[in-house]
Amino acid sequence: MLTLYLFGIVQKHTKILLCLALGLTPILTGFAHAQTDLKRADFDGNRKINFQDFLAFVAVFGKTSSEQGFDSRMDFNGDNTINFQDFLAFVAVFGQSVELKDLADYPVGVSLQTKYLTDDARVSLIKRTFSSITGGWEMKPKPISTGPGTYDWRRADALVDFAEANNMQVHGHTLLWHQAVPTWMENFSGDDAAFEAAIKEYITTVVQRYRGRVVSWDVVNEGIDGRGKVRDNLFSQRMGNDYIARLFQYAREADPDVLLFYNDYGTSQPWARAKRAAMLNMIDDFQTRGIPIDGIGLQMHISYKSPDISAIRETIDEIVRRGLKLHISELDIRINPDGDLSEPTQERLELQKKRVIEIVTAFHQVPEAQRFGITIWGIADPDTWLIQAGRSQGRPEWPLLFDDHLQPKPAYDGFVEALQNKGF
Ligand code: XIL
């Protein structure tokens, strides 16, 4: 009876009810976070809390658990009756989306290769989920730099065009990395000054080409080794240990506005104390000398069990204390680091979810102005570099937010939950 009555109201006063629902939303948001979660209120499963969901809710209003049609998903307050409290909880999330990019007030990014741009399912997943992209390979020197002063822009352009067409930002990765060195750099026959001039020319050209189209660049990737020394590689050999500072200056000269990041891995691992100290010293040194640096990228290739979140928080705090922006730049979470699984288990997937919540929550504790964003290192599990680049030593691995069928995993829900608990 009550249901029929409510249906009548809905039909007659659709607009008024919608306005009421939307108007109450901000007032009730706090209430709703204690009472419900977005995913649960998405009865029709289209990842938006919309009018269809509202109708579904209204249709069972007043039912108790003993009656037919009772839907426990709608019993947000758990009292076995779909009542006004549940209605308020539902209304408070009306109009919201369950997608990461809509829930976050900072960029949520993904790394991808141009080959995925012709994969419709992946493209649609990327468009609805993420607000930032990073090239997994295409914006590194090896694919771009075909010789001194010669360039192949095709793949990098395709990524930037894709981002622009879909309202996403681009994080440039990376101007220099010892694992993506073009052959001509390795074989460079000129002297060290000529080598540095060629590197400067490369950085200047790339940064200027994407000026205004790329919001940020990792200037140097993994420039410090595990002992806390400037990594012994072609660049330090040719340009000396202070080369990192000069490359930041060259990038800044090329674009006064682009954000400049130093990006590295493992900095919260127990084995990396010297490395982390060296990275923090480098920041202090840059700041003392007036070398431009805007942020730090923590790659965050971690596992379900290590490193401890307290160590990650310590590293984050040190970066925040120095006033820099923080980028969780390459998040993936291995659930099979010891190779004991041949299939993902529910238990491990839940532990992976717990890790996502820990990381995202730690990120939310960074002051807003220093929150650069979180980038996931790959679209769906089969795409992970850990398998494709042979880093999981033949072990199967499922480190990302979406599964083999592109369905969101518990890890994805963990991200959503962490965003909801933040209360914006
Ligand atoms: C990886 C890409 O994901 C692979 O597709 C590519 O073959 C090699 O590089 N740390 C980094 C990233 O900073 O650039 C690496 O990306 C993964 C480790």
pLDDT digits (tens, 9 = 90+) for 331-380: 999 999 999 999 999 999 999 999 999 999 999 999 999 999 999 999 99
Average pLDDT over the chain, rounded to an integer: 92
Measure the CA–CA gap between 248 and 151, rounded to whole angstroms: 21
Q: Domain spans of the chain? A: 2-92, 100-422
Is residue 222 flagged as an active site residue?
yes
Q: Which CATH number fits domain 100-422: 3.20.20.80, 3.40.640.10, 3.30.460.10, 3.40.1180.10?
A: 3.20.20.80
Q: Is the CB of 136 under 6 A from ligand 1?
A: yes
- Tell me the C-alpha distance between 275 and 376, whole Å: 23
* Residues 295, 296, 301: CA angle, nearest 5 degrees: 150
| Cα–Cα nearest to 109, from 318, 315, 391, 371 | 371
pLDDT the model gives residue 6: 56
Neighbouring C-beta atoms of residue 79, cutoff 10 Å = 12
pLDDT on residue 10: 55
pTM for this one? 0.90
Which of 222, 358, 397, 417 is catalytic? The answer is 222
Q: For residue 221, give the ligand 1 atom closest to its CA.
A: 13
For a ligand 1 pocket test, name from 137, 264, 327, 391 the mutation site with the most ligand atoms within 8 angstroms of its C-beta: 137
The C-alpha R_g of the chain, in whole angstroms, comes to 25
Residue 377 CA to ligand 1 center (angstroms) comes to 8
- Residue 394: which pLDDT band, with cuts at 50, 70 and 90? confident
pLDDT given at position 213: 98
Burial of 233 (0-12, 13-18, 19+ CB in 10 A): middle
Q: Is the pLDDT of residue 264 over 70?
A: yes
Q: Cβ(202) to ligand 1 under 6 A? A: no
State whether the beta carbon of 221 lies less than 6 angstroms from ligand 1.
yes
**How much is the pLDDT for 13?**
56
- Known catalytic membership, residue 330: yes
Instruction: Check pocket membership of 261 for ligand 1, CB cut-off 6 A.
Output: no
pLDDT tens, position by position, 228-254: 999 999 999 999 999 999 999 999 999
Q: Are 408 and 402 in contact (CB under 8 A)?
A: yes
Pocket test for ligand 1, best of 265, 328, 385, 387 (most atoms within 8 A of CB): 385
389 pocket-lining for ligand 1 (C-beta < 6 Å): yes
- Picking from 195, 199, 177, 197, the residue whose alpha carbon sits closest to that of residue 187 is 195
Question: Long-range contacts: 160-163, Cβ < 8 Å, 24+?
Answer: 160/210, 160/213, 160/214, 162/117, 162/133, 163/132, 163/133
